[in-house]
């Protein structure tokens, strides 16, 4: 599948998907482009209010690797900016909610997880061509 640009129509579709995913407890829309989906709820870095976003992920050990691509935009997505201030959050996957702590992945692990994600959604390889920023790979690790 080709990479998707962030347009008003796509934003509306993503919002509908997030709502359906949440209302179904993570059952509707659990896969997009061949990748599993989770609902990440962060705390707003300014407001402190809960903010949710549906994200594709790659399983990594007990955690989940997500790509902060923001569809190739020149700024980081709000969810990643929120996690940099408040790294603890929640994920909903398959009807189960768990607490996580986020951290950015660098080096060989970043490259390995990027390749794993791009193998499922080749659009990830297009996004770096559209932006000057280095797109973060973020690991969401369960909190024991």
In the chain the first and final C-alpha atoms are separated, in Å, by: 37
Q: Backbone phi, then psi, for 12, in 5-degree steps?
A: -65, -45
Neighbours of 78 (CB within 10 A): 15
- Looking at residue 28, its pLDDT comes to 65
DSSP track, 15-62: HHHHHHHHHTTS-TT-EETTEEEEEEEEE-TTT--EEEEEEE-EEETT
82: its two tokens: 């929120």
Per-residue confidence band for 6, with pLDDT thresholds at 50, 70 and 90: low
Domain boundaries along the sequence of the chain:
8-142
- Looking at residue 71, its pLDDT comes to 87
- Looking at residue 138, its pLDDT comes to 99
* Position 134 pLDDT exceeds 90: yes
Q: Which long-range contacts (CB under 8 A, 24 or more apart) does 2-6 make?
A: 2/122, 2/123, 2/126, 3/71, 3/72, 3/122, 3/123, 3/124, 3/125, 3/126, 3/127, 3/130, 4/71, 4/123, 5/71, 5/72, 6/70, 6/71, 6/72, 6/73
Q: How far apart are CA 80 and CA 77, in angstroms?
A: 6
Q: Backbone phi, then psi, for 53, in 5-degree steps?
A: -150, 140
Topology, domain 8-142: Pnp Oxidase; Chain A (2.30.110)
- Looking at residue 69, its pLDDT comes to 95
pLDDT tens column, 87-131: 999 999 988 999 999 999 999 999 999 999 999 999 999 999 999
- Looking at residue 72, its pLDDT comes to 86
pLDDT tens column, 43-87: 999 999 999 999 999 999 999 999 999 988 899 999 999 999 999
- Looking at residue 92, its pLDDT comes to 94
């Amino acid at each position: 599948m080709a990479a998707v640009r962030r347009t008003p129509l796509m934003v509306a579709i993503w919002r509908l998907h997030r709502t359906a995913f949440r209302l179904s407890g993570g059952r509707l829309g659990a896969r997009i482009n061949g990748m599993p989906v989770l609902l990440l709820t962060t705390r707003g870095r300014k407001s402190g209010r809960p903010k949710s976003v549906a994200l594709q992920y790659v399983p990594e050990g007990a955690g989940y690797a997500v790509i902060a691509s923001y569809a190739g935009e020149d700024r980081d997505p709000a969810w990643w900016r929120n996690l940099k201030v408040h790294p603890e959050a929640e994920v909903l996957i398959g009807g189960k909610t768990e607490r996580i702590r986020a951290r950015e992945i660098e080096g060989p692990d970043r490259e390995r997880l990027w390749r794993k994600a791009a193998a499922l959604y080749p659009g990830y390889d297009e996004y770096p061509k559209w932006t000057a920023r280095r797109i973060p790979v973020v690991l969401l690790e369960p909190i024991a």
